[in-house]
């Protein structure tokens, strides 16, 4: 699975958009980009995933560059409850049962 690079930490003001970047320059054609988040001492929570096209759901938007070497997760109106570690994962569905390889992630702090 391709390696991902994320900034270790970011701050965001409550009510503003949080834009979390991820580099995955060695991604291959059959690998998806997944985002999960983990609030302290809880299990990770799925946010969104995509292959080539931009995706949006009730939680977030995912913007993938045309060359697929990077992506951005957008939380449109961050709240204090969005404070968590956000993991960007590049994953081939059929590798080891579809395992997720978690890196260090980005610790997002949403401040009032």
CB of 43 to another protein, least distance (A): 3
Candidates 49, 21, 1, 43; CA nearest to 106 is: 21
Distance CA 28, CA 15 (A): 35
- 14 vs 92, which CB is nearer to another protein? 92
Contacts by 96-103, CB closer than 8 A, 24 or more apart: 100/34, 100/36, 101/1, 102/36, 102/44, 103/3, 103/4, 103/5, 103/6
CB of 15 to another protein, least distance (A): 28
CB of 73 to another protein, least distance (A): 15
- 14 vs 38, which CB is nearer to another protein? 38
CB of 55 to another protein, least distance (A): 12
List interacting residues with another protein (CB under 8 A): 41-46, 49, 87, 93-94, 96-105
- 14 vs 101, which CB is nearer to another protein? 101
């Amino acid at each position: 699975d391709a390696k991902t690079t994320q900034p270790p930490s970011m701050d965001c003001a409550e009510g503003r958009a949080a834009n979390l970047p991820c580099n995955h320059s060695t991604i291959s054609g059959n690998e998806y980009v997944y985002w999960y988040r983990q609030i302290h001492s809880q299990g990770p929570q799925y946010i969104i995933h995509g292959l080539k096209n931009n995706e949006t759901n009730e939680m977030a938007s995912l913007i993938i560059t045309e060359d697929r070497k990077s992506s951005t997760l957008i939380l449109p109106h961050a709240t204090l409850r969005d404070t968590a570690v956000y993991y960007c994962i590049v994953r081939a569905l059929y590798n080891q049962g579809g395992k997720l390889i978690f890196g260090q992630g980005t610790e997002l702090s949403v401040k009032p």
